[in-house]
Structure 1
């Protein structure tokens, strides 16, 4: 168990009135210490006695824009945000994050990576065009799906050249490129694309079986072979979420889990060192670990592996310094410290006696506040601010997860309410659009579990349905919304506040619906 400092400060937040009421439970007086027994099979654990009162705000940065009449944008964290543009007429309006959804994205014309994005359409049937066509398809897909696409181009090009040089991954890469091209044209994958993805999934299963049937040689060679076996698999996973149910995506993850485990040096039965994985130069290992951990958060299921997380203030600072060389923030939109914190909370939940330490949650609160949301400053201010908002939403999500998972709190706990309200203020401060909403689906699910007010639920519902893929039944985004709807309906009918277990129950109910 990680050591906890004896001088941990109690972080206070706004006092929630004991007579606070809401539209969902109008007859319920929100006294957090009152017994609260839900109707039905669920049993709420008692709330912890430690209830901090107020969390201080601090400035992350000031952004100004010379054109227009936006005078100042102030970001305050963690739970007292004001994400509105302050205009000369003092009228507050939500900021609009530029929604570039084609190859005319507003980028630096001098950027040497530009030809990869705006090259003319290539004839894929010409042999010499095969690799350029694949790179172009991947680049177009990156614009629609990645958090910071320009940062991904160089690494993506090198990886594609490597995959194209090997016969067993070349065909997979070309097929994936065709599906990506289909997706970027219509923001959907038709029956042909789904058939290709199903074929590739079967090929992955064959490759995994072949690899696992091969006895390990030296650890170095075995790790290289395992990493090679993961090539194209995680790209396949990233595309599947737009066209397949959650269960199918997790089946793919479970298939390659044993391959990933062979690439890790820890003996069988031991927890994996998450820091070593996130610092590994190969993106496949980092990507798998992040998907595994964040997938468990998003649906309430256990991760494929137990992860050892040696968190500390110094470690968070060290990780932040490595953002430009080892981070996958450009892919997911969250700093690695966020992933570490989610994994650490999961680890602590499995550690006997941890909940008896009254200093634990305040210490983790301090760590969450220490996370620096980085931006290289190369983008226009509004776009840069939008990316900061996404990261700050993840910060709010970690607070909610901490209180509801480790603290065993329900959605009426004052700390949960404070974090959820901070999240809603953030998300309402940026106008709906593909960007940033496509990158907010994860934290929306976490915050949605804790959302009580119908107005807030409607806002989250609209933001999810504003993403075209999430309107298609049987896709992960659509199922995520169905899970939230199931939580909201069940808890309302049972006249109780949600607990984190509700997410797992709803996930199983919705998964069975589509199985």
Structure 2
């Protein structure tokens, strides 16, 4: 074990808190032209070696998903018979690039591609565009930071599909499910390689379809523990996106989620979620356990009702966070196990900060806020920047931003966010994030006061208009 790994293990241990079908030939012929894509100037560019970064291939190569769906040589995407194999391979590259545990998603990703490729021309168009854009994103840089012209084509196709489904009087359940599923995959792609406002638009437009698929009657709160165990994975996934985005952007959720506390009480449905949290699609994709999503949903609901001073409720939420089970997924590589544990522990500390500042109304200088930030940054200081863990901590870095008062702590956050990507389209999103964070830091400094969570919403409106 290297000195760096030993230091990281020490940091983690010090934070451990024990529990108190094939498509028709004519369709393939029609859609293969879409694989060629518009004429766009691109250059491939691998990240240069950097002694200050973790070896990004160390984890990616050991468990990457490029061949997890289909083992194929490099294909000519313009050849008609290569259409489906090309989509499968490109989509596997995309999943391998963005997923926390890509190998566990191989069956789900393959089923998604097959079902949508054979589901009519509009559905086929969307899956081809997703594969074409996503498959080219790793290691590709757009010259002069230009956006991929295919992105608005995908957005328009997805909006047209959602509009068509919503206009149906009594659509079949399978039609609703497939349209919601493709919307979620498109949102995910926008978050990584396009403009975030495209994802925000789809989140809003997909909401009525999501609600029709939920078992609760119209107007009733949605039982989140039950939803996360629903066989329709797209329901839990959309709820995750809704909660996650609302937490980060400090906006109301699209729907009211019902989460009983204590969440981990055996009589609650969430016990099932708790015992399987390391085997869920959301953990495989984002590295965030279902249990933590439920805690965030409960805290968001309380925040929307206004700051609370109920010490019993606060204590229950603190207990839920302390008792969050450590990451239990196994890998043959110690490096991957360490990084995944780091991701979960950082998210736990970000949740503590959100509880104290957003829910309880603490300013940044209170002792419990400082302690949570200290625990988070202790992990950051023990590891070097790299794909693991930084790309799975981006939004948690946004959440801890308001708690940072010292110049050094702010610089760590600033550098971690800006170092994740270089010149691809996601850089523009990261610049927007930094602008928001810098805005509330500067405003609090100018007014000679500590940062409050209410500052976040003001800076969000000023910086990115949400």
| TM range, smaller chain | 0.7 to 0.9
The DSSP-based 3-state class of the residue aligned with 1:135 is helix
Of residues 281, 289, 298 in structure 2, which corresponds to 1:335? 289
Q: TM-score by structure 2 length?
A: 0.83
- TM-superposed CA distance for 1:356, in Å, is 4.7
- Deviation track 1:208-242 (CA, whole Å, cap 9, x = no partner) reads 2222222236xxx44x3321211321221112123
Of residues 200, 212, 227 in structure 2, which corresponds to 1:250? 200
What's the counterpart of residue 179 of structure 1? 133
Of residues 56, 66, 78 in structure 2, which corresponds to 1:99? 56
What's the counterpart of residue 274 of structure 1? 224
* Distance of aligned partners of 1:350 and 1:445 in 2 relative to their CA distance in 1, 3 Å threshold: closer
* Distance of aligned partners of 1:414 and 1:70 in 2 relative to their CA distance in 1, 3 Å threshold: closer
Choose between structure 1 and 2 for higher RCO, CA contacts under 8 A separated by at least 6 residues: 1
Larger gyration radius, structure 1 or structure 2? 1
* Distance of aligned partners of 1:444 and 1:118 in 2 relative to their CA distance in 1, 3 Å threshold: farther
For 1:69 and 1:214, locate their aligned partners in 2 and report how far apart those are by CA, in whole Å: 58
- Deviation track 1:91-133 (CA, whole Å, cap 9, x = no partner) reads xxx9975411898x1249xx9x946476321111222222221
What's the counterpart of residue 237 of structure 1? 187
What are the residue-to-residue correspondences of 1:85-164 with 2, within 5 Å?
98-100=55-57, 105-107=61-63, 114=67, 116=69, 119-164=72-117
For 2:437 and 2:113, locate their aligned partners in 1 and report how far apart those are by CA, in whole Å: 37
What's the counterpart of residue 160 of structure 2? 206
Give the paired residue count. Answer: 426
For 1:371 and 1:424, locate their aligned partners in 2 and report how far apart those are by CA, in whole Å: 19
Q: Quick check: 2:145–2:424 contact (8 Å CA) kept in 1?
A: no
- Deviation track 1:287-318 (CA, whole Å, cap 9, x = no partner) reads 11111100011111111111111242235543
The DSSP-based 3-state class of the residue aligned with 1:76 is helix
* Distance of aligned partners of 1:281 and 1:396 in 2 relative to their CA distance in 1, 3 Å threshold: same
* Distance of aligned partners of 1:188 and 1:399 in 2 relative to their CA distance in 1, 3 Å threshold: farther
For 2:284 and 2:188, locate their aligned partners in 1 and report how far apart those are by CA, in whole Å: 14
Of residues 371-380 and 183-192 in structure 1, the stretch that sits farther from structure 2 once superposed is 183-192
- TM-superposed CA distance for 1:351, in Å, is 4.8
What's the counterpart of residue 25 of structure 1? none
For 1:342 and 1:69, locate their aligned partners in 2 and report how far apart those are by CA, in whole Å: 32
The DSSP-based 3-state class of the residue aligned with 2:325 is coil
Of residues 399, 405, 411 in structure 1, which corresponds to 2:364? 411
Structure with greater helix percent: 2
For 1:150 and 1:199, locate their aligned partners in 2 and report how far apart those are by CA, in whole Å: 30
Q: Quick check: 2:142–2:148 contact (8 Å CA) kept in 1?
A: no
- Deviation track 1:399-451 (CA, whole Å, cap 9, x = no partner) reads 00111122111111111111111111111211111221111101100011111
Provide structure 1 residue ranges, at least 5 long, that are not aligned to the other structure. 1-64, 81-93
For 1:320 and 1:265, locate their aligned partners in 2 and report how far apart those are by CA, in whole Å: 22
Q: TM-score by structure 1 length?
A: 0.76
* Distance of aligned partners of 1:283 and 1:470 in 2 relative to their CA distance in 1, 3 Å threshold: farther
- Deviation track 1:245-273 (CA, whole Å, cap 9, x = no partner) reads 43332122111111111111222222111
For 1:505 and 1:346, locate their aligned partners in 2 and report how far apart those are by CA, in whole Å: 18
- TM-superposed CA distance for 1:141, in Å, is 1.6
For 1:279 and 1:95, locate their aligned partners in 2 and report how far apart those are by CA, in whole Å: 41
What's the counterpart of residue 76 of structure 1? 13
Q: Is 1:295 matched with 2:251?
A: no
